[in-house]
């Protein structure tokens, strides 16, 4: 009887081992990789955006310089020309969002008499700072 009982126990042992193997759960899928950080604007992209902005204002543009200030602001500077006028256009762009942050636009007519000290030939004849007391 002991042999029968021993044989019965031995026959159940492999079944128990197989049974524990069936309880294996699949591994969860790995989480997706985080999206890459936004890409900073390149020199060519900054100049191209600035040129488009300059031309949309009706100017003929010549690039003076473009550089990255810090890590997040592109400064793009142009000489701007229009019929009978010239000056500059300076643009600041956010390097990551590509948003236009600041515009410094100074394009003036060559014959524009904006200073009362000007004699009409482009040469000043008076005091620039403070002007004369009795200047009228």
Q: Which residues of the chain carry a pLDDT beneath 70?
A: 1-2, 4-23, 111-136
Has this prediction a pTM greater than 0.75? no
Given this model, what pLDDT does residue 61 score? 93
Print the SS3 string covering 25-58: CCCCCCCCCCCCCCCCCCHHHHHHHHHHHHHHCC
Given this model, what pLDDT does residue 28 score? 85
Given this model, what pLDDT does residue 11 score? 66
Pair 105, 81: CB distance under 8 Å: no
Cα–Cα distance for residue pair 111/73, rounded to 1 Å? 35
**pLDDT tens digit sequence for 3-19:** 765 566 666 655 544 44
Given this model, what pLDDT does residue 27 score? 85
């Amino acid at each position: 009887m002991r042999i029968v009982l021993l044989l019965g126990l031995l026959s159940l042992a492999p079944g128990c081992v197989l049974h524990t193997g069936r309880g294996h759960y699949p591994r969860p899928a790995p989480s997706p990789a985080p999206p890459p950080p936004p890409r900073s604007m390149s020199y060519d992209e900054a100049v191209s955006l600035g040129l488009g902005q300059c031309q949309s204002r009706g100017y003929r543009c010549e690039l003076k310089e473009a550089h990255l200030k810090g890590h997040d602001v592109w400064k793009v500077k142009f000489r701007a020309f229009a019929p009978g006028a010239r000056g500059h256009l300076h643009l600041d762009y956010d390097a990551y969002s590509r948003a236009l942050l600041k515009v410094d636009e100074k394009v003036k007519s060559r014959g524009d008499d904006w200073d009362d000290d000007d004699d009409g030939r482009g040469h000043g004849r008076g005091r620039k700072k403070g002007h004369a007391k009795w200047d009228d």
